[in-house]
Amino acid sequence: MTAPTTSAPTTDNTPDPPHPPAAGDPFDHDVLPTPPGATTALLRSLLAPMKARVTVTTLLLLLQQAAVQVGPLLVAYAIDRAVPAFRDHDHGPLIAVAVGYLLCALLSGGLQYAFIGASARVNQDVLPICAAGSSGTRRR
């Protein structure tokens, strides 16, 4: 005679199927009630009083990225010219590439630090305008 076997209850970890939206539910559509280009127009209006600072911030970002891009150019120069010169016992080009790469890295870091600070100031100056705009009054 064999004893009856029981198995532990199994749990199904599959998620429940999504429920169909109720008919006429206003939240079942992804339609936003804004005209095309409204977001861009809003952003421009918020940044317009800070045009000079936004320009400086953009310039800092572009200069930082230019400093980053010089690094691979220096590596390519080192591979093509400085290493063959080093094999001929001419250490000057390789030392110049190393110093240039170090200066580009330092310049890139400094410009990135300045960009983060400048963009944070612009962002913090836009926040009160957004908060005031949502309450119906505008502060400066």
- Please identify which residue in the block is written with the tokens 């169909």: 20
Structural domain contains residue 104: yes
Structural domain contains residue 3: no
Which pLDDT score, from 0 to 100, does residue 53 have? 94
Q: Which domain holds residue 62?
A: 49-135
Structural domain contains residue 28: no
Structural domain contains residue 18: no
**Among candidates 112, 78, 72, which has minimal Cα distance to 92?**
78
Residue 46 near residue 53, CB atoms below 8 Å: no
**Phi, psi (deg, nearest 5) at residue 13:** -90, 10
Structural domains counted in the chain: 1
Q: Is the pTM of this model over 0.85?
A: no
Average pLDDT over residues 1-5: 59
- pLDDT-based confidence at residue 107 (cuts at 50, 70, 90): very high
Structural domain contains residue 6: no
Structural domain contains residue 5: no
Structural domain contains residue 39: no
CA 119 to chain centre: 12
Structural domain contains residue 113: yes
Higher-pLDDT residue of 102 and 25 is 102
Strand blocks (E) in 1-140: none
Supply 8's token pair.
């532990």
Q: pLDDT tens-digit profile of 58-86?
A: 999 999 999 999 999 999 999 999 999 99
